[in-house]
Amino acid sequence: MAKIVVLGAGLGGVIAAYEIRKKVRRQDEVIAVNETDFYQFVPSNPWVLVGWRDREDIIVDLEKPMKKRHVQLVVGAAEKVEADNKRLRMSDGSFVDYDYLVIATGPELAFDEIEGLGPHGGFTQSVCHIDHAEAGYKAFEAFCDDPGPVIVGAVQGASCYGPAYETAMIIETELRKRKIRDKVPMTFVTSEPYIGHLGLDGVGDTKGLLESEMRDRHIKWICNAKVQKVEADKMIVEEVNEDGSTKEIHELPMKYSMMLPPFRGVPAVRDIEGLVNPRGFVITDKHQRNPKYPEVLGLGVCIAIPPVGKTPVPVGVPKTGFMIESMVTAIAENLGQIVRGKEPTHEATWNAICIADFGDGGVAFIAQPQIPPRNVNWSVSGGWVHTAKVGFEKYFLGKIKAGRSETFYENAALNLLKTYKLK
């Protein structure tokens, strides 16, 4: 019997637990370890920020579906991965032993790396967690009573840019609905070298599509931006040239702001030589295994992926939903082989299908693979994107509640798009 522990129950971790359970042997034990007893659908947090969703709309109690799929749920914070001892040290002093560990923690949000950043003692909001989004909504309601300049974007070291664009457009849409848009100057501040870069050097014509959306909505932007400091009523931003030299220092007035923070590895894995890179992200090979600790596998935002190219300001590579699901499938298939004494052979495609909602429209793109050069490089905008995002939210939450990793309908749609999870 093998004991398989999945650390983290976010987008990748929950699906991984379900899928691994299907692929390993009946006698093998699958355990999911998570800080909370619920799953949160993070892509809906921009809607929570403006009051379009409530907390109960986007969370799922994990106890029932985990039990249904014969996955043990351990609720608690992992203090440290003791890789040499093959166990997790929990914050309450207990230990969870493993034969195989799948790290799916997501990142730690490094608000502390920039003065004044973040919702905890800082002056900016966040959509990275449901608690942050709820706090952001409370602040947004107060802002709407006395509106002023808004700044949205992503700071240096961030590695997920889609939610920043979504949040900017959704806020803009909501301000128009409230008929106060004319009172709110908006600026988009990003570490990307150009609008629509997305950490991927663009997908299709995301540059043109997103610049057009910004112009139509009267949102100004600053690229190649380093946020130096955030104060209660302003943000100090250094805009740099292609060679990294200072182009201009902006002091932007601010009454409300949502900025995606830098990402780094979680404390439980940081500083473990051979397991993680200097930023604390898990090192994996083509089979999602760690070279030093082959019994440890990694997926999602917590793994190390080098940037797609050199940029004046650090720009991380996003790990999008379908890309993460392809890692999940590869890991589940590989663990199915490993527990039966075989060598792993499956590789994730890292293909990407993304839907960015703008409240009254949006942009969708397909990148095969996500990291260039690509076989498919396509993007499109339209009013249907918002409807598609709403539909996907309902579909994915339904999967989590049912304890499913995929459905017949999902696989049929992917086959039509010729988009696959495994090479």
Q: Which residues are catalytic?
A: 160, 354
- How would you classify the pairing of strands 87-90 and 246-253? unpaired
CB–CB of 283/305 below 8 Å? no
First to last CA, the chain: 29
DSSP-assigned beta bridge partners for residue 102: 6, 297
Distance separating alpha carbons of residues 259 and 118, to the nearest angstrom: 8
- What b/e readout covers 262-283, taking b as 16+ CB neighbours within 10 angstroms? bbbbbebbbebeebbeebbbbb
| Helix segments in 206-358, DSSP class H | 206-216, 321-338
Determine the residue type at 402: A
CB–CB of 195/300 below 8 Å? no
Distance separating alpha carbons of residues 169 and 357, to the nearest angstrom: 8
- How would you classify the pairing of strands 150-154 and 256-260? parallel
Distance separating alpha carbons of residues 135 and 125, to the nearest angstrom: 8
Distance separating alpha carbons of residues 366 and 356, to the nearest angstrom: 12
Q: For residue 293, give every residue at least 6 positions away whose Cβ sits within 8 Å of its Cβ, in sequence order, or none.
A: 83, 274, 275
Identify which of 357, 369, 270, 280 has the alpha carbon closest to the alpha carbon of residue 50.
357
Distance separating alpha carbons of residues 395 and 14, to the nearest angstrom: 15
* Dihedral over Cα of 170, 172, 175, 176: its sign: negative
Run of H or E residues at 133? helix 130-145
Run of H or E residues at 139? helix 130-145
CB–CB of 242/279 below 8 Å? no
Distance separating alpha carbons of residues 358 and 166, to the nearest angstrom: 5
